[in-house]
């Protein structure tokens, strides 16, 4: 059993290394880096806490205009995205990975069309509508956010969604997938298509 767990962890970490390479090699992903930077996460099959979800230590940022991971993948490197993927999996076990990136009204309009063309659900939540009993307490928002998104999408977790602007909160987009390589490949393609649209 211990060997199986360690083997699963090795697979996850290796997958994240490949995912980071995809993002760092992308010519256009730099356009989607938000102020809070990016993290990409991949959870263990039975993850129940952030220490069982691997992410990028120090997140992914821009160095001299180039996409660069600040550190190596490790378990427990993410809090926000790790809690998000754990909450998502209460509704849909097929999603084990996710990435956050920038959100703007222009990007949102593009994503709505892009997702529709691929048969992906795309939805968003208005952080200003969050009940005070969740927004006023640290780490209480995530269950409300995911539950709200599922309700908007008729009982399904949307593959791509956004958290709109909130007080002191940068709006962000999230893309979900079965593993980190899938998510990185898809977001790199999104950035490429979005860049060509903006020319």
Count how many domains the chain has. Answer: 1
DSSP state of 140: -
- Provide the domain limits for residue 59: 2-198
Dihedrals phi, psi of 53, to nearest 5 degrees: -125, 130
Question: Are 67 and 33 a contacting pair, CB within 8 Å?
Answer: yes
Confidence of residue 79 (pLDDT cuts 50, 70, 90): very high
Confidence of residue 2 (pLDDT cuts 50, 70, 90): confident
Give kind and range of the element (H or E) at residue 198.
helix 180-198
Instruction: Encode pLDDT of 29-42 as tens digits.
Output: 999 999 999 999 99
Half-sphere exposure (Cβ direction) of 104: Cα atoms closer than 13 Å: 9
Looking up residue 138, the CATH number of its domain turns out to be 3.40.225.10
- Burial of residue 2 (number of CB atoms within 10 Å: 0-12, 13-18, 19+): exposed
> Which tokens sit at 8?
């699963």
Average pLDDT value for residue range 64-79: 96
- Position 1 scores a pLDDT of 72
- Position 92 scores a pLDDT of 98
- Position 167 scores a pLDDT of 60
Q: Return the number of other C-beta atoms located less than 10 Å from residue 27's C-beta.
A: 11
Give the length of the chain: 199
Q: Which residues contact 5 (CB under 8 A, 6 or more apart)?
A: 44
Q: For residues 31 and 52, what is the distance between their CA atoms, to the nearest angstrom? A: 30
Q: Which residues contact 51 (CB under 8 A, 6 or more apart)?
A: 75, 76
pTM over 0.85: yes
Q: For residues 31 and 152, what is the distance between their CA atoms, to the nearest angstrom? A: 28
Instruction: Encode pLDDT of 101-112 as tens digits.
Output: 999 999 999 999
- Position 131 scores a pLDDT of 61
- b (16+ CB within 10 A) / e for 147-186: ebbbeebeeebbbbbbbbebeeeebbbbbbbebbbbbbbb
Confidence of residue 164 (pLDDT cuts 50, 70, 90): confident
Q: What is the mean pLDDT of the chain?
A: 92
């Amino acid at each position: 059993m211990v060997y199986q767990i360690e083997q699963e962890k090795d697979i996850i970490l290796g997958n994240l290394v490949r995912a980071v390479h995809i993002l760092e090699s992308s010519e256009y992903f730099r356009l989607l880096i938000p102020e809070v930077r990016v993290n990409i996460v991949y959870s263990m099959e039975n993850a129940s806490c952030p220490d069982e979800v691997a992410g990028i230590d120090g997140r992914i940022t821009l160095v001299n205009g180039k996409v660069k991971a600040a550190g190596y993948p490790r378990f427990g490197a993410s809090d926000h995205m790790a809690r998000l993927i754990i909450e998502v999996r209460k509704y849909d076990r097929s999603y084990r990975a996710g990435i956050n990136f920038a959100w703007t009204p222009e990007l949102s309009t593009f994503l709505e069309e892009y997702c529709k063309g691929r048969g992906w659900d795309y939805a968003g939540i208005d952080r200003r509508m969050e009940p005070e009993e969740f927004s006023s307490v640290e780490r209480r928002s995530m269950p409300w956010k995911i539950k709200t998104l599922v309700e908007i999408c008729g009982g399904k977790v949307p593959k791509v969604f956004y958290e709109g602007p909130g007080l002191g909160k940068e709006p962000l987009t999230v893309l979900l997938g079965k593993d980190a390589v899938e998510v990185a490949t898809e977001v790199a393609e999104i950035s490429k298509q979005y860049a060509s649209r903006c020319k």
